[in-house]
Structure 1
Amino acid sequence: MEKLSFKIATLHRGRYMLLMMLFVLALVYIVSRLPLSEVVKIMGSLFSLPLVLYIAVKCSRKPTVWTIDNESLTIEDPTSHKIIPLNTIDYVRNLRRSGGNLIIIKLKTGAHVRAWRNKLFESEDDLKNLCQSLKDSKIEYYDM
């Protein structure tokens, strides 16, 4: 098998959740201080939530490149580099979530490698091709 590379749009999930909470709290604080009626405050907050979501996603982006060759799966992002030998992978589970997927790689040693795929505000990535390559490599794959 030749070396195959796939670009996957992933998120730093902790940063995303923290930014969402901070932005929502800041939004609520600012709106509560405005001298407007309660209905206008609530409507303003509700219509501002998509902007908060957009900013949190854009600030938490962590695009990764997944490379599969005969012996290993390599996951590279801007801050780290993981090499996982294919013979140590027990199974791969792809769990669909709103806005993306949670990809769990269960290793035979009991450890897990998790990646949060993002579909919000992103163009199509190579997840389907990656999943097919994992199946072709005789790795147990679950799509849920």
Structure 2
Amino acid sequence: MTAATRLLRGVPPEYRDRMMEMAHEVAFDQDTRIFEEDGTADRFWVLRSGAVTLDLNVPGRRPVTVETLGPGDLLGWSWMFPPYQWDFGAEALSPVRAYEFDGADVRAACDADPALGYALTRVVAEILAHRLEAARTRLFNL
């Protein structure tokens, strides 16, 4: 499986193929703001190349980078859970190519096929658990 579809490695092939049918390719120039914290989360991306920083607004300071994502990584999970608002901001650290998915379309596909919904939810949950552990380790090292 290519790095660009690593997100779906835990999804059975028939669901992976269905997901990729919903994807379209996009590109972001370096320094492009992809989304803003608290904005409407209506899509997500699987990075094919480049790097994206996730940042958090801190009152009285510049946004703080909390993580850098690269090829194969999921960018955006807030599309999956109400109120569908971004928890972080995101900016292209370098030129980025990605597969983009419409959140409402993917949620509708998951509602129509609960097995797809379960498989995708499980993969996203594993990614979130990994990122939480990584954040915990970074905080511990401070």
TM-score by length of 2: 0.29
Going by fraction, where is strand more abundant, 1 or 2?
1
Quick check: which has more Rg, 1 or 2?
1
The TM-score normalised by the length of structure 1 is: 0.28
